[in-house]
Copies of this chain bind each other. A is one copy, B any other.
Amino acid sequence: MTPMQEKIIDFLKRKQGYVSGEEIAERLKISRQGLWKHIQELKDSGYEISAVPHLGYKLDSSPDRLFAFEVTSDLNTKTIGRKILYFDALGSTMDEAMKQGFGGAASGTLIIAEQQAKGRGRLGRAWASPKYKGIYASLILRPKLPPAQASVLTLLAAVSIVEAVKEACGQELQIKWPNDILCSGEKLGGILTELVASMDEINFVVIGFGINVNNDAKSLVSGATSLYRQQKQNTSRVALLQEILRKVEKNYLALEAKGPEAIIQKWRGHNITLGKRVKVYCQHKAIEGQALDIDADGGLLVRKDSGISEKIMAGDVTHCR
C-alpha cells in the first residue's frame, strides 16, 4: 500500500458509491492512467473495486488484511497503535519490535505480521502463525513502572484481549495464569512480554500477542482453538485488533493513573486459576497447592499442603483435579 493508494481507498470509502475516475484523479492530483494502475494494484491486494464505464469506480469490499492504514483508520486512540509497522511476513514480531524499541520507536508503536516463520511463545516455544488466519502483533511500551512491576503489563494485555473479544464478537474467554487465553478449555491466544530495563527503570517493554481468529481445524495445533471454530463464522481481524488496541489504551491509562489494583481486579474476574488446586513448574522445581490470589506484581500466591504459601513470579500451571 502506497500513501496514494491509501488516499484512493479512503476517498472511495467516504463516497460509498460510484465515483468517476475524472473526479478521483482531479481531487488526488494524479493522471487517469496513474489512477488505473493504482486500482489494479489495490485489486491485487484484495480490495474488490467495480469499474463501470461512465459511472466510474466503487469499493465493494476491503480484504481482511491488517494494513496499517486500515487499522489506524477510525481507531481513535492517543498512543496505542498510532504508529503501525505492517509486514506481510516476518520471522517474529517480537524480534522486529525489539529492534524498533532499541531504535527509539515511540511508546504505542505496533508491529504486525500476517505470518510468522518463527513465531515465539513463552520459554522458547513456537507459536503457529498461519497466514491471514490470526493476529500476530507486538506492542512497544515505555511505561514509567519499576522493572519488578512489568508483569502487570502481561495481565493488562490478557484482560484487554478478553474484553475486546467479548466486545467484537460476543465470545467469553478465560485467563489461565499467567497469560494463557482460553476458550472452552482450549488455547485461543497467548501473550509474551519481554523487557529491556536497568535495575532502576524500564527502557521499554514489548508485549507480543498471538490470537487464533479465523483458523480452521487443520491450521490449529493440538489443544488449540480459534474464534472461527467456536463461532462457525469469520471474525474481522481488523475490527478485533482495533478493539484490542482501544482496550489496551484504556487499561494502560488507568494503570498509569491509579496503579495496578484495577487491572488485577479485572484479571481476577476473568481467570480460571485462582481457587484451583495447581501444580506450577518453575525454575527446575514443581510447587503444588491451592492457588490463592495474585499480588500487585502479578505473582501467583500458592498455599502448599504444608500450610506455607509461596509467591511464584513465572511458571507453567497445571490445574489438578
**Residues on A close to B: CB < 8 A?**
98, 102, 122-123, 146-148, 150-151, 154, 178-179, 192-201, 203, 283, 313-315
CB neighbours of A313 from chain B (8 A): 146-148, 199
A150 in contact with B196 (CB, 8 Å): no
Using A122-B200, A200-B123 as known contacts, say yes or no to A283 and B146 having CB atoms under 8 A apart: yes
Cross-chain contact of A203 among B151, B154, B194, B283 (Cβ < 8 A): B194
Q: Determine which residue in A102, A199, A313 has the highest number of CB atoms from chain B within 10 A of its CB, and name it.
A: A199
How many copies of this kind of chain does the complex include?
A: 2
Using A98-B102, A313-B148 as known contacts, say yes or no to A193 and B201 having CB atoms under 8 A apart: no
CB neighbours of A199 from chain B (8 A): 122, 150-151, 154, 178-179, 193, 313-314
Minimum Cβ distance to chain B for residue A133 (Å): 25
Using A102-B98, A122-B200, A123-B201 as known contacts, say yes or no to A146 and B314 having CB atoms under 8 A apart: yes
Task: Name the residue on B nearest A298 (C-beta).
Answer: B199
CB neighbours of A203 from chain B (8 A): 194
Task: Name the residue on B nearest A201 (C-beta).
Answer: B123
B98 in contact with A200 (CB, 8 Å): no
A283 to B148, CA, bound (A): 12
A200 in contact with B102 (CB, 8 Å): no
